[in-house]
Amino acid sequence: MPSDLEPYEALLLVSFGGPEKPDDVLPFLENVTRGRGIPRERLEQVGEHYFAFGGRSPINDQNRALIAAVEADLAAHGLDLPVYWGNRNWGPYLSDTVRRMTADGVRRAACFVTSAYSSYSGCRQYRENLFDAVAGVDGAPRLDRLRHYFNHPGFVEPFVDATASALEQLPAGSRLVFVTHSIPDAMARASGRPESADPAVGYPDGHAYEAQHRLVAAEVAGRLGHAEWDLVYCSRSGSPHTPWLEPDVNDHLEALAGRGTPGVALVPIGFVSDHMEVIYDLDTEARQTAQRLGLSAARVPTPGTDPRFVSMVRGLLTERAAVERGKTADRPTVAASAPSWDVCPSGCCANPRGERPALGGR
């Protein structure tokens, strides 16, 4: 009888990466922005965000904590599976991890990406990096990306409870402000599966990135009885002449204060853990903006290692394993929405700089 995890022999956590000491900061930022023509002066400016926290991003430690929690969860359910970890932009690099997996004899692994939504930077770019990681390794394992989980209860429900707790700290009439990473307008238009005729799983006019965030925001707000809410953006970068998704969170706080809003709950639904875009863009910049405006503000925690989020990883793994064995799998979602696809369709979340090969797609 096959185990609940066959055909998978390992789980690979795939993440963005971040500097772990001051000397890492500029090389890391150069990795992130390579080929985009970002001036060194701008990199040095962004580097100050990291230096304000000792030159160390929290993301790697958060990944270590998540891996430990996932390993404990798997073991508690009698599932024996090694968990590996590889980053796009800093050590441990995906290429090094794939070589280690190959040396360990891993033939097939499932990949959990620490990005919940559809977009080039949030999905296809990771898939391109996975292709690059296996391309030069003889006998490299087959890697399957697990589905997007923006609408999975294990991702959404921690936000619901944490937002309810944040609202208890705020005055009556406070606003729910959902925050995610801004991306260029062109990338947003190309996100998801534009050619799909099924609005339940595809987005006929693109814009999956925004639509998925709005689904999550509406679900969280609806469960809390808040009819009105806002979706705003942070961490804009690149040329000022290139349109990006707006409004910026700080500009939106200005507008809310001008309308007499007494307080805001900042809900970072675009992020799975409290990494730099959260602790700098929200806990530092947005908090300073709110204080200057006299606006009460509470920042909602991300899922991190919430047990529901951790068990979601196991659930995504076992459901995909069942599908690969030709079995029917329970695929939970919220708001009567359809689960995302396992294998990305051709043209999904197109690379704005031209086609490159990617794993996990048709």
The pLDDT tens digits for 10-47 are 999 999 999 999 999 999 999 988 877 778 888 888 89
pLDDT at position 307 over 50: yes
Query: pLDDT digit string (tens) for 150-171?
Result: 999 999 999 999 999 999 999 9
Tell me the pLDDT tens digit for each residue of 93-130: 999 999 999 999 999 999 999 999 999 999 999 999 99
280-286-292-296 Cα dihedral, nearest 10 degrees: -120
Asked if 168 contacts 256 with a C-beta cutoff of 8 angstroms, the reply is: no
pTM listed for this prediction: 0.94
Domain borders along the chain are: 10-149+305-324, 153-299
Q: Are 10-149+305-324 and 153-299 in the same CATH fold?
A: yes
The domain made up of 10-149+305-324 has a fold known as Rossmann fold (3.40.50)
- In 277-353 the beta strands, taken as DSSP E runs, fall at 296-299
Euclidean distance between CA atoms 212 and 222, whole angstroms: 15
The CATH fold of domain 153-299? Rossmann fold (3.40.50)
| Long-range contacts of 30-38, Cβ-Cβ distance < 8 Å, separation of 24 or more | 31/89, 31/90, 32/89, 33/237, 35/353, 36/238, 38/237, 38/238
| pLDDT score for 198 | 46
Contact at 8 Å (CB) between 359 and 146?
A: no
Q: What are the tens digits of pLDDT across the range 179-216? A: 999 999 999 999 987 554 344 445 556 789 999 999 99
Cβ-Cβ contacts under 8 Å for 150 (sequence gap 6 or more): 116, 117, 212, 213, 215, 216, 340
Indicate the residue type of 29: L
